[in-house]
Chains A and B, each alone.
Chain A
Amino acid sequence: MERKKLLIADDSEMNRAILANMLAQDFEIVEATNGLEVIKALQTYQNDFSALLLDIVMPEMDGFQVLAEMNRRGWIDSVPVIMISAETANSCIDQAFDLGASDFISRPFATGVVRRRIINTLLLHAKKQQLLDTVTNRYLHEEKSNEAVIAILDYSLELRCGEGGTHMTGVGHLTRLLLRALLKKTGRYELDPNDLEAIGMAAGLHDIGKVQIPEAILKKPGKLTAEEFEIVKKHTTLGAQLIEQLPGFQNEKVVKYAIEICRRHHERWNGEGYPDGLIGDECPIAAQAAAVADAYDALVSRRSYKDAFSHERALQMIHNGECGSFNPLLLECLDEISETIVRENAAKSAGQNPNAKRRIVEDLYRERDLTAARMTQQLEEAVSRQNFFTGMSEEMWFEYTVQPSSLQLSRGITEQTGLPEVLVDPMQSADFLAIIGEETSAAIRAEIKKLNTDESYAEVTVNLLLDGHLRRCRLAMYVAWSVAERGRCSSLFGKITNVDENYKRMAEYSALMQDGSDDTALLPGIGADRILHITKEQVSGVLQSYGRIYDSVRLVDPDICTQVFTEVTSHADFTGKHCYAVWEKTQRCRSCISQAAVNTHHPQSKIEMVGNDLFCVLALCVEIEGIYYALECVNRIQAGDMQSDDGGSLLNQLLMRNRQVYTDSLTKAFNRRYYDDRLRRLTGEYALAMIDIDNLKQINDCYGHQTGDAVLYQATQTIRANLRSTDELIRYGGDEFLVLFHDLPREILQRKLENLCNVVHCLRSDNYPELRISISIGGVYGTGTIEELAAKADRAMYRAKSLKNTAAVYTEEAHEAE
């Protein structure tokens, strides 16, 4: 069985000791003495614990409170909890199980029973996780095609309405949330999970009637006339009719609900709605919920005639009756799910979390609502995809699904490449390979491989055959990770931007630089808008004139991360190098100030570090014939530039900090990190000594660790005092030290080391006068890497160690014989 962490929580030290003793062979034990400590430990290690053994009666926070807190934080399903208590009352046991405990063991317990029950709990837990994965995987697979159809419908309808958002999916999802909250609240409406699923889908279709309303009215930016409004109102009855005429499917729940919702989603509780002015529950509950969802989603979305309102403002407006009157129960539900909506919105704008899908499945599993899970999942995915696509500007986009392997291309791509809209198994298609080429597909694959599973954005520049010409293109990709198999990409959405022109322009500027005159007269200054407006003929002059002020100046096109430098030489192949390469990076800087300067039209600055050198970088926005670039001016920061106000140098402070990183906190000698970073690989002729403090373990055991530490400190200080300032003392291991002597004559080494033994042996402890301290030293003099020499010194030291309080110097004869 795999050794994993086990958290034991009990306020009695003796009880913890018994359990720890029983279980130490199978688990790494972590102990907690009260409830608060349990929560802290869970917070620190979270997923590391395979189980929690929890006592009930504890100070600060008792076991039940711990369980409640774990429920609140959503941890109860990730860490199985086994209660151990002297309580035997059934009410206690019931309460523990109700709060999500996996097992309950009463005191007194027997070793075998406890072990077996913990192991059973762990096996059960693992099995459940596996099942959840299978279910998740299964329905994702099945819903794939369904989902695509909905996304297409959603997209085309919204394109027509000029809304360009995700209104359909938004309303569908919100309607389901509202109804779920409503069902918890009242038994008045009879809906089962299948109804909820159908209503969610049907609510998405509420505005389908708009396909028959003239586009000019739908997209009209100003206020509608009374006649126009009458026409728009008809989308309710038109939508219902449209679906009623649908051949077949009339017995499907989803169709029935869709007709109801299309017709009724503008009815209002007080009868002031349209088309029929129904009052109260005369209007079916599904349509009532869709109406609330529709009103909310319209408020928080941007429309041709209004800006988006905030979530809070939208709730307020609905409560104020600004969208007409609604069922008061549904308004209560809206308030109850408010937090969920805010959380989901935040998750959406932060980019989709790969765990989100799995979490949804877990949520629904808990409520035994798997059918409904499918719809939520589907809508979630459609939303994230929409957000991604609408966020990027139109034209060339693609979607690749790994299983089954298929590629879907937008019209932009099909027009420029002649490829069909859908390609099954594209890597087997000769037409496709002719466009994309081996190199490009390899580059994409390499880029995805670099991502962690919590990252989903990748960018790569490749050559594509567009309209018969090879063009440099930038591919921005969104990677969706497989839920079932960690680290596997399940699909890829992306947008292609033809950046060939960008490269051509940079090439042109570069050429102009080469035969550009040195004429820097009559250059324009920076305007009141903080942008430098120049012609392409002035590029060379600007770079040269700024080049006189700064160490280095370059013109950067942040879209393609490419640059033109001042020092133009024939080998300056700007197309081959990215702008970030000068900072020794392999991808766009996290803080790309050129992009920021171009986006904000304001100067930006940052500090970069290459090796030990610091650079100050300034980016100005430059406009060259209608296109924006960044002018990056770089100066190296000199030690003198870093003078701080109190007279000290910032650089020195940084160096001090650096020194701390390399200092052992107890002995103030250098630490092992210093040895590994700075010394280990040095090569040359050196004298080296390995020092071991004799009997330190016994000292620790007999006199306590405090005394042990004091001895260690005293010994190091004495050794240090007897070394030259150029010698380096490193704490190599627990009680092992290494001394590197620079330029020490060979013949002095033995005497030097014996001297160290003597001075240390003269040390006395104030508290324990009887305590004797001694060291064993192995020395070496030779040529090689420090690491090799240290190994030899170590062998000599082990020889000395057998005698104690002795120094031995390594000789080939003595040690080869070993």
Chain B
Amino acid sequence: MKLNEFYAAAGGDFQDAHDRLRSDALIERILRMLPRDNSCELLFTALREGDAATAFRAVHTLKGTALNLSLSSLAAACNTLTELLRGKDAIPAEAEPLALAVRREYERAIDALKLLDE
């Protein structure tokens, strides 16, 4: 499967990533690091433990990564949660559905990665 098909499946913008990073090999190498990134896991652990600061940091990091890779849907989901959590001491009730949306987008990208090997 080609990178552009991955981007279509993962809800991203291949052309943007290609224009900015200029190397498909680089994009693919970085994408394959995505399952190793523990930000999403860290986000959910922090939410469970009521640790708003760590949750903010985790989703913020994931947003940065998603932006860098032009994973637009994931970045957008992260952005909403990031802004909700910004400066909060406790975790607001609205966080949960937003976090689920982040995980949905993250898993969508991870699933699409599997296609990349086919």
Contacting residues, chain A, for B61 (C-beta < 8 A): 11-12, 15, 57
Number of interface residues of A (CB under 8 A): 22
Do most interface residues of chain B lie in helix, strand or loop, or is the interface mixed?
A: helix
Contacting residues, chain A, for B23 (C-beta < 8 A): 21
Indicate if the CB atoms of B37 and A21 lie closer than 8 Å.
no
Indicate if the CB atoms of A86 and B60 lie closer than 8 Å.
yes
Indicate if the CB atoms of B33 and A13 lie closer than 8 Å.
yes
- List the one stretch of B3-11, B13-21, B94-102 in contact with chain A: B13-21
Set A13, A86, A108: member contacting B70, Cβ < 8 A: A108
Known: A14-B30, A18-B21, A57-B61. A108 touches B67 (CB 8 A): yes
Contact with B along A1-40 (1 / 0, CB 8 A): 0000000001111110110011000000000000000000
Contacting residues, chain A, for B2 (C-beta < 8 A): none
Expressed in whole angstroms, the minimum distance between the Cβ of A47 and any Cβ of chain B is: 30
* CB nearest to A56 among chain B residues: B60
Expressed in whole angstroms, the minimum distance between the Cβ of B89 and any Cβ of chain A is: 17
Contacting residues, chain A, for B30 (C-beta < 8 A): 14, 17-18, 21
Set B19, B22, B68: member contacting A14, Cβ < 8 A: B68
- Judged by a CB distance under 8 angstroms, whether A109 is at the interface is yes
Known: A57-B57, A108-B20. A14 touches B67 (CB 8 A): no
Contacting residues, chain A, for B29 (C-beta < 8 A): 17, 21
Known: A59-B57, A86-B60. A111 touches B65 (CB 8 A): no
- Judged by a CB distance under 8 angstroms, whether A110 is at the interface is yes
**Complex: how many Å from CA A59 to CA B46?**
13
Expressed in whole angstroms, the minimum distance between the Cβ of B84 and any Cβ of chain A is: 15
- Judged by a CB distance under 8 angstroms, whether A55 is at the interface is yes
* CB nearest to B27 among chain A residues: A18
**Complex: how many Å from CA A42 to CA B34?**
29
Contacting residues, chain A, for B70 (C-beta < 8 A): 108
* CB nearest to A84 among chain B residues: B64
Expressed in whole angstroms, the minimum distance between the Cβ of B8 and any Cβ of chain A is: 18
Contacting residues, chain B, for A806 (C-beta < 8 A): none
- Judged by a CB distance under 8 angstroms, whether B73 is at the interface is no
**Complex: how many Å from CA A107 to CA B64?**
7
* CB nearest to B72 among chain A residues: A108
Q: Which of chain A's residues 68-119 have a Cβ closer than 8 Å to chain B?
A: 85-86, 107-112
Expressed in whole angstroms, the minimum distance between the Cβ of A109 and any Cβ of chain B is: 7
**Complex: how many Å from CA A17 to CA B37?**
12
Known: A57-B61, A111-B21. A13 touches B36 (CB 8 A): yes
Contacting residues, chain B, for A14 (C-beta < 8 A): 30, 33-34, 37, 65, 68-69
- Judged by a CB distance under 8 angstroms, whether B26 is at the interface is yes
Indicate if the CB atoms of B57 and A110 lie closer than 8 Å.
no
Indicate if the CB atoms of A57 and B20 lie closer than 8 Å.
no
**Complex: how many Å from CA A11 to CA B64?**
10
Expressed in whole angstroms, the minimum distance between the Cβ of B38 and any Cβ of chain A is: 10
Contact with A along B42-79 (1 / 0, CB 8 A): 00000000000000110011011101111000000000
Expressed in whole angstroms, the minimum distance between the Cβ of B71 and any Cβ of chain A is: 10
Indicate if the CB atoms of B33 and A86 lie closer than 8 Å.
no
Expressed in whole angstroms, the minimum distance between the Cβ of B26 and any Cβ of chain A is: 5
Contacting residues, chain B, for A59 (C-beta < 8 A): 57
Contacting residues, chain B, for A12 (C-beta < 8 A): 37, 39, 61, 64-65
**Complex: how many Å from CA A109 to CA B63?**
13
Contacting residues, chain B, for A108 (C-beta < 8 A): 16, 20, 67-68, 70
Known: A14-B30, A17-B30. A86 touches B64 (CB 8 A): yes
Expressed in whole angstroms, the minimum distance between the Cβ of B35 and any Cβ of chain A is: 11
**Complex: how many Å from CA A112 to CA B56?**
30
Indicate if the CB atoms of A86 and B21 lie closer than 8 Å.
no
Contacting residues, chain A, for B21 (C-beta < 8 A): 18, 22, 110-111
Set B16, B36, B68: member contacting A15, Cβ < 8 A: B68
Contacting residues, chain B, for A107 (C-beta < 8 A): 64, 67-68
Expressed in whole angstroms, the minimum distance between the Cβ of B105 and any Cβ of chain A is: 16
Expressed in whole angstroms, the minimum distance between the Cβ of A452 and any Cβ of chain B is: 45
**Complex: how many Å from CA A583 to CA B4?**
75
Set A17, A22, A85, A110: member contacting B64, Cβ < 8 A: A85
Expressed in whole angstroms, the minimum distance between the Cβ of B16 and any Cβ of chain A is: 7
Contacting residues, chain A, for B26 (C-beta < 8 A): 18, 21
**Complex: how many Å from CA A15 to CA B37?**
11
Indicate if the CB atoms of B20 and A110 lie closer than 8 Å.
yes
* CB nearest to B57 among chain A residues: A57
Residue of A18, A55, A110, A112 ringed by the most chain B CB atoms within 10 A: A18
Contacting residues, chain B, for A15 (C-beta < 8 A): 61, 64-65, 68
Contacting residues, chain A, for B57 (C-beta < 8 A): 11, 57-59
Set A11, A18, A58, A86: member contacting B63, Cβ < 8 A: A86
State the 3 A-B residue pairs at the shortest beta-carbon distance, nearest first: A110-B20, A86-B64, A108-B67
- Residues on B facing A (Cβ under 8 Å): 16, 19-23, 26, 29-30, 33-34, 36-37, 39, 56-57, 60-61, 63-65, 67-70
Taking A12-B61, A15-B68, A21-B26 as known contacts, 10 extra A-B pairs with beta carbons closer than 8 A to each other, sorted by chain A number, are A12-B64, A13-B33, A14-B30, A14-B69, A22-B21, A59-B57, A86-B63, A107-B67, A108-B20, A111-B21
Q: List 19 A-B contacts (CB under 8 A).
A: A11-B61, A12-B37, A12-B39, A12-B61, A12-B65, A15-B64, A15-B68, A17-B30, A18-B21, A18-B26, A22-B21, A55-B64, A57-B57, A57-B61, A59-B57, A86-B60, A108-B68, A110-B19, A111-B22
